A and B are shown apart, each in its own frame.
Chain A
Amino acid sequence: MDDWISLPLVGFPLIASVVLLAFVSNANQATRDRLASPIRMVCLVFSSLLLVVTTGMFFQYFGNVSWEGISFNSYEFDHRYLWIEALGIHWAVGMDALSFPMVWLTTFLLPVTIIATWNEKNGATYFPIVLAMGGALIGVFVSLDLFMFYVFWELTLIPMFFLILMWGGKDRRYASQKFFIYTFTASVIMLLGLITLYFFQDTSNPMIHAGTMTGRTFDIQTITSHALVENSNGNWYLGANIQKVLFVMLMLGFLVKLPAVPFHTWLPDAHVQAPTGGSMLLAGVMLKMGAYGMFRLPLSLFPHALQYFQLTLMIIGMISLVWGAIVCLGQTNLKKMVAYSSVSHMGVIVIGIATMQPMGWAAALFMMFAHGVISPMLFAVCGAFKHHYHSMEIGAMRGMAKHSPWLATSMMFAWMASLGLPLLAGFVAELMVLIALWYMIAAEGWSVLWMVGPALVLAITAAYYLWSMQRTIFEGGDETQPPASLHGEPVPDITDSEKLAMIILAVFTILFGVMPWIALDMMNDWTVQIFEGLILPILGNFNGGA
């Protein structure tokens, strides 16, 4: 067997979770409680095996696959099986340096999430749903077929919807529906864009993988290779205006998922109401689906439209960055603050893309990865507050460091990592985006005023993170003030499993901060390949490239 993706990474987690859920579905509550512990163990072992597989892929254990030097639009571990012949739909999987870090991240976060939420209630159904979430997420990242991509894209909604609805906070009913409908609306518009794109294929030349009924294919590799085709009159494969329409429709789906202001309003609700595990996966991987989708489809398919919308994207990115940060300042709920800080960080990704510099794109890719390691820790800390203090109100407690040093340390570490402390993962990405921005200003004559936003946000971010820490774990001297929601009970520290999860996350944050090249090299390589293979040939040497 040499297909290491279809079944090991996508099929087995989904099948296992369906089997486990079917197994417990008709059991009564007592049996379910008894089964919770073994099922949790099964899920942990299963997700750890996924991590073993992806880590093995990194260390070239499965065949001599190097993640660098893959030319644009070719994929490793790729396999293609006929699915719906009439429409040209295949079960097509494969990974390149764009998707591999995301797949690894997903498999890394799954066991960590299970460890961090070890004592979640109704574990017999919770852990299989988390596992299903992981399978669906990996499915998104490995799809090389538009149909399959969309199927997994929507499939991720279902487990997350149930995680929020069944294990969420007080307003979970509202939040789960808003989450589902908001992202579903954006995705169906994206779907229409994908279908319109599908029919813009040249049927006069026989196409590989084409459907018997339509003469066209959903195969991403084939479609992407078409983006480079120029017709006899010098018009591009897609007319400029059609490119723009398709770009907008596709980007809408991805920007809502990311989310970027003004499409971000579902995120704070979903995050605040979601259980800790749901938040960790939502912030860690699910938001990255949006960024991944941008790179995989619109950016690889519509370079002209990208050039046209460069300024718009830059503005959207800046607004997300600044607005997200400013709103953070006013939050009194820790989790909501962290959620808005995610919006702000996602703005960095959009800015990185909008610079249209290889450096900026590599920075965006690394930001996806770094934020995927850091933000789960932020939400794990928030979850610990919720779980142990029953309160996430900033200012409702003082001097918690005295009572729970573990929680305070974790919080301090996560907060510092998120605000971009050097030697931690987040710093690298932010620094690179700033360099790319400076390059635009210096070499391409953009106004220096574009630096105002990021400069401002550096200060604001430090302010809200430090301020929230000061008002929860510090201050108070000898007179600490436990939150009123504890009703005078002794203040606990986090559990051992939570400590373990925090340690793992912290170690990897340091690892990718000190040695970013582990992931950054392949990302750099991917950007170089797409710029050499697509952007520069099509758009010409429009702005050099750093």
Chain B
Amino acid sequence: MSELTVVEPFGDGFVAALGPELMLFAGLLVLILLPNLGRGTFRIPGTQIRLPWLLGGNRFKLTSDPRLPSWIATITLTAAFLNILYIFSEGLDRVAIMTESGKEILLVNGFSRVFELIFFGALALASFSSMNRLAVKGSGSKLSEHELYNNRRQGDFYILMITCALGMSVVALAQDLFVLFIGLELASFSTYVLVAFLKESKAGVESGMKYFIVGSVASGVGLYGLSMLYLWAGSLQFSVLATHFATSGTTALPLIGIGFVLVGFGFKVSAAPFHFAAPDAYAGASSPVAGVLATASKAMGMLGLIRMLLIVAAPESSDGSAVWLICFGALAAVTMTWGNLAALGSQNPKRMLAYSSVAHAGYMLAAITAIGAWNWDAAVAGDAGTAAVAVLTALLFHLVVLVAFKLGAFLVLSVLESEGGASSLSSLGGLAKREPLLAVSMFIFMISLAGVPPMAGFLSKLLVIMAIVRVAVGDMGSEIAAGGAFDVGDFHWVWWLALLMVVNSAISMFYYLRVVVVMFFDQPEEGREGPLPSGWQVRTAILLCVLTTVFVGVAGNGLLELCEMAANSLNYDW
């Protein structure tokens, strides 16, 4: 690990450290300006002199192209994504952005960069494939008023995508709970509007409202918790909170405060019982946006949970386990079971995917629980740090590959949506006959979600289960070799979470397989026998997702090592 460099805001090295973020910012400015360029003129008041002003007026042919905003957003996000990959390949510098008074605001390290990889990747794919979703005809002055209006809204859509990415990257980098909160709100507000973007449809408005109301209540509760933490510690710096927690963490005030903050993140990861808005939001939003909610937004919430639980409320080294251990174990069990059972009964593929996303949140919570339990018994726990790194690696890996197959599944639904709806399972009927490659892609996404080898989803689920079992069993193997005798009762109880997790994967097989059967067995709906609407962008995005899913499943070592490096760079204090 390289040395930590300290940089002041806008000081030397600031631009170099925050390259991808500034890239997004530049893209945002271009996105606001470029589509508005036209033959507009500015009349100097009191004269007849008109100066060419270039903003507004009759737009140029190129700048009025409705696809322009989408291209700008896609290129910006992809450039930021590739930039991070480049940074990884060049070797990462750890940079902390600190104020003059020594307050750490942002920290650039492998951990935050991997999360940005998730955010930018998901948003780039979503904005690329959204290009096919609005029927756009003609350009410039040939458009009717209504069409023009629609095209102008294209700009807003992609501006929100980029602000969302910016907010998320702030969450990834933040070292101060308040900065994190600002990033969280920026990203959240962008997603609220994105969900409600189809305001002409009843479902769009309804889902947007639900998502907004529940989300803002969650944020409000989180903010309240923040204020309690500030009251207790006098600072919202993670490092200050952590040191405070180590001395007086188990008193009522910080525990309640942390609990409230966790509610805010719990909503983002759609953990039960804060998941009620998720199925409605996913069903009403356009599919790529729903895909972003299920991947990038969830990763953001998970990031918040990890920071709060592992940095601030770190597992104590003396008595072995974290204060929140039991609570999170129960939450994980309830979340995964609830999500899977609810998914069994849903006939709407988007709601089904939403509930499956709840179930996946449960698996990830189980992994976090395992970290909380890492040194439950000093005799067999082994090297605690490595066990925690194993769990974190599994979590990161899962979040990264989730982008490929979860978003991919939503993109397949997106193609059907452009045809006229994907709100019932039967709309997938006969997909194998209509477009075999699309059906095979969906099949791969489904079995990957269920965790069937050799897909990426299998490897990630395997890693999570392995990490939990590793914590539960500890170093019993070595202890036995050294002469100890162990029994099944000596397993830590998180082992049962792993068992619950495999049972849940078996349950989830029902509804994933149902989608496959509908695609390969049922006949198409009436009037939907013909070929699907064209659109090479969304198909390219799906193809990328399929290739990633299969490639990572077969050769996941590189990504695994990347995630391990990132997990190592999370600075734990325990």
Contacts and interface: CB of A to CB of B under 8 A. Distances in A.
Partners in one complex: yes
Interface string B486-519: 1110000001001100110110011001100100
B473 A204 contact: no
B181 to A, nearest CB: 34
A25 interface: yes
Interface stretch (A153-161, A323-331, A398-406): A153-161
Interface stretch (B32-40, B185-193, B446-454): B446-454
A173 B506 contact: no
A200 B473 contact: yes
B502 A189 contact: yes
Interface stretch (B196-204, B298-306, B477-485): B477-485
Contacts of B481: 202, 204-205, 229, 231, 237
Interface stretch (B99-107, B318-326, B554-562): B554-562
A500 interface: no
A241 interface: yes
A539 to B, nearest CB: 19
B437 A25 contact: yes
B466 interface: yes
Given A25-B437, A188-B505, A192-B502, A199 B483 contact: no
Interface string B538-574: 0000000000000000011100110010000000000
A231 B390 contact: no
Nearest to A198: B466
Contacts of A162: 520
B435 to A, nearest CB: 9
Contacts of B382: 203
B413 to A, nearest CB: 21
A310 B386 CA distance: 39
B116 to A, nearest CB: 22
A86 interface: yes
Interface secondary structure of A, over-half rule: helix
B469 A196 contact: yes
B430 to A, nearest CB: 13
A320 interface: no
A66 interface: no
B440 interface: yes
A25 B555 CA distance: 25
Contacts of B556: 84
A165 interface: yes
A491 interface: no
B462 interface: yes
A179 to B, nearest CB: 10
Interface in A179-194: 180-181, 184-185, 188-189, 191-192
A64 interface: no
B557 A86 contact: yes
Contacts of B505: 188
Interface string A229-251: 10111010111011011000000
Interface string A188-232: 110110011011111111000000011010000000000001011
Interface string A371-384: 00000000000000
A150 interface: yes
Interface in B243-273: none
Given A165-B521, A176-B517, A181-B506, A84 B486 contact: no
A59 B478 CA distance: 44
A180 B509 contact: yes
B449 to A, nearest CB: 13
A151 interface: yes
B487 A241 contact: yes
A62 interface: no
A447 interface: no
A199 B470 contact: yes
B453 A150 contact: yes
Contacts of B560: 84, 86-87, 213
A166 interface: yes
B393 interface: yes
B114 interface: no
Interface string A169-182: 00011001100110
Given A158-B447, A188-B502, A195-B469, A213 B393 contact: yes
Given A214-B470, A235-B485, A238-B480, A154 B557 contact: no
Given A202-B481, A241-B487, A173 B521 contact: yes
A87 B555 CA distance: 12
Given A158-B447, A239-B480, A181 B513 contact: yes
B564 A213 contact: yes
Contacts of B436: 25-26
Interface in B233-251: none
A200 B453 contact: no
A239 B382 CA distance: 19
A467 interface: no
B485 A233 contact: yes
Q: Name, among B462, B481, B520, B560, the residue most crowded by chain A CB atoms within 10 Å (CB to CB).
A: B481
B491 to A, nearest CB: 8
Contacts of A147: 462
A245 B462 CA distance: 20
Contact of B482 (A231, A237, A238): A231
A196 B473 contact: yes
Given A86-B561, A195-B462, A235-B485, A188 B506 contact: yes
Given A85-B557, A165-B521, A241-B487, A200 B480 contact: yes
Nearest to B451: A188
A195 B454 CA distance: 17
B503 to A, nearest CB: 8
B398 to A, nearest CB: 15
Given A26-B437, A155-B453, A199 B506 contact: no
A408 B81 CA distance: 68
B480 A191 contact: no
A195 B564 contact: no
Contact of B452 (A158, A166, A232, A245): A158
B465 interface: yes
Interface of B: 382, 386, 389-390, 393, 436-437, 440, 447, 450-454, 458, 462-463, 465-466, 469-470, 473, 475-478, 480-488, 495, 498-499, 502-503, 505-506, 509-510, 513-514, 517, 520-521, 555-557, 560-561, 564
Given A192-B499, A239-B486, 12 more contacts: A83-B555, A87-B560, A162-B520, A185-B506, A188-B451, A188-B506, A191-B502, A199-B473, A201-B477, A202-B480, A216-B477, A232-B482
A-B interface, 8 closest residue pairs, ranked by CB to CB distance from nearest: A202-B481, A185-B506, A151-B453, A233-B483, A188-B502, A204-B478, A199-B473, A25-B436
20 contacts: A84-B560, A85-B561, A86-B564, A154-B453, A162-B520, A165-B520, A177-B514, A180-B513, A188-B503, A188-B506, A191-B502, A195-B469, A196-B495, A200-B476, A213-B560, A229-B481, A231-B483, A237-B480, A237-B481, A241-B487
Interface of A: 25-26, 83-87, 147, 150-151, 154-155, 157-158, 162, 165-166, 172-173, 176-177, 180-181, 184-185, 188-189, 191-192, 195-196, 198-205, 213-214, 216, 229, 231-233, 235, 237-239, 241-242, 244-245
